[in-house]
Homo-oligomer: A and B are copies of this chain.
Amino acid sequence: MKALVYGGPGKKALEDRPKPQIRDAGDAVVRVVKTTICGTDLHILKGDVATCAPGRILGHEGVGVVDSVGAGMTTFHPGDRVLISCISSCGKCEFCRRGMYSHCTTGGWILGNEIDGTQAEYVRIPHADTSLYPIPEGADEEALVMLSDILPTGFECGVLNGKVAPGSTVAIVGSGPIGLATLLTAQFYSPAEIIMIDLDDNRLEIARRFGATQTVNSADGKAAETVMALTGGRGVDTAIEAVGVPATFELCQAIIGAGGVIANIGVHGAKADLHLETLWSRNIAITTRLVDTVSTPMLLKTVQSKKIDPSLLITHRFALDQVLDAYDTFGRAAATHALKVLIEVS
């Protein structure tokens, strides 16, 4: 089968690989129908993700059809159309039982990282009964690819952790795909204001179309003052970090109101300064989270009932044969205006 293979820092290729086989009783092999590329795949290609060895098939998102199942599986059967979660969850360990699937002791984010992933014609899914989700009859499968990772990430790490609430004021720092997914799901809770902050006017324009009530271009170095002015000097109730660098995390500290929450989504490669000398008495919370995808069933319901349209995030489409072009388009997002690129596999 064809697969996009990581070849070490800076290297990737579309290769021929053997079709994966059932290994454990809880495995399923899924024929991939649609997949996509994540910002994390770009991190891997830079050599930033030590757990991902050369030779790995990338990808941790997608929808497909169950091809074969292990002896212990009870929920899914060959022929079932399924959504693949980016997080593998055994359903048995202490963390899974607490709803922290991201820390599953034999799972977590392993797909396209520690084991072969979804940018291929077939993929082996461990703990398949608890890591796949049934696709409802008549669903828009393209839209559902956004439920593998980006929507639950924005929702769980940003919106839920950030305690977005009716009437509240929210700032989202970063208007890339993950910031925009956060913006879409934040509206489930009817906040009064959603202020979107980015350096790219095109992305801020998209944010406005997606429901931002205010946008701030932070290129002038005055984003904090601007947000404080917009909030009458009180700061925001929720500040969501959707970039992953110290400067944006520190901006969140500068704009958070007393009693507020800073919810981190960004994947950070370096420490940041925490200004405890001012924050110690501000009654705030800071949260971090690797997505658990515990909200996937709920998100499926909101898509089916049209409370949200995740296909808004899809800007480009490619066949698996064109996956290198897809990477190129996604990698040069400032120029191509790409948000999520859809790869049609079969």
A residues near B (Cβ < 8 Å) are 25-26, 70-75, 90-92, 94-100, 102-103, 106, 129-130, 165-168, 187-190, 192-193, 213, 244, 246, 249, 258-259, 264, 266-277, 279-290, 292, 294, 297-302, 304-305, 307-308
Choose one: B96, B187, B280, B301; the contact of A288 (CB below 8 Å): B280
Cβ–Cβ contact A270 & B276, under 8 A? yes
**Which chain B residues lie closer than 8 Å to A74 at the CB level?**
25-26, 90, 92, 106
Among the listed B71, B167, B268, B300, which residue makes an inter-chain contact with A277, where contact means beta carbons less than 8 Å apart? B268
- Choose one: B71, B258, B281, B286; the contact of A286 (CB below 8 Å): B286
A280 to B265, CA, bound (A): 8
In the bound assembly, the distance between CA atoms of A283 and B157 in angstroms comes to 9
Is there an interface contact between B97 and A297, defined as CB atoms closer than 8 Å? yes
Contact of A188 (CB < 8 Å), options: B106, B190, B308: B190
Copies in the complex: 4
Closest to A296 in B: B97
Q: Judge whether B213 and A305 touch: CB under 8 Å.
A: yes
The interface residues of chain B lying within 8 Å CB-to-CB of A91 are 91-92, 96-97, 130
One of B25, B72, B192 near A301 (C-beta < 8 A): B192
Q: Are B283 and A285 touching (Cβ within 8 A)?
A: no
Which residues in B have their C-beta under 8 angstroms from that of A98?
A: 259
Contact call B277/A103, Cβ cutoff below 8 A: no
Q: Assess A264 versus B280: contact at CB under 8 Å? Given A166-B307, A305-B167.
A: yes
A74 to B92, CA, bound (A): 9
Q: Is the CB of A283 within 8 A of B274?
A: no
Closest to A276 in B: B268
Closest B residue to A96 by beta carbon equals: B91
Contacts of A294 in B (CB 8 A): 97
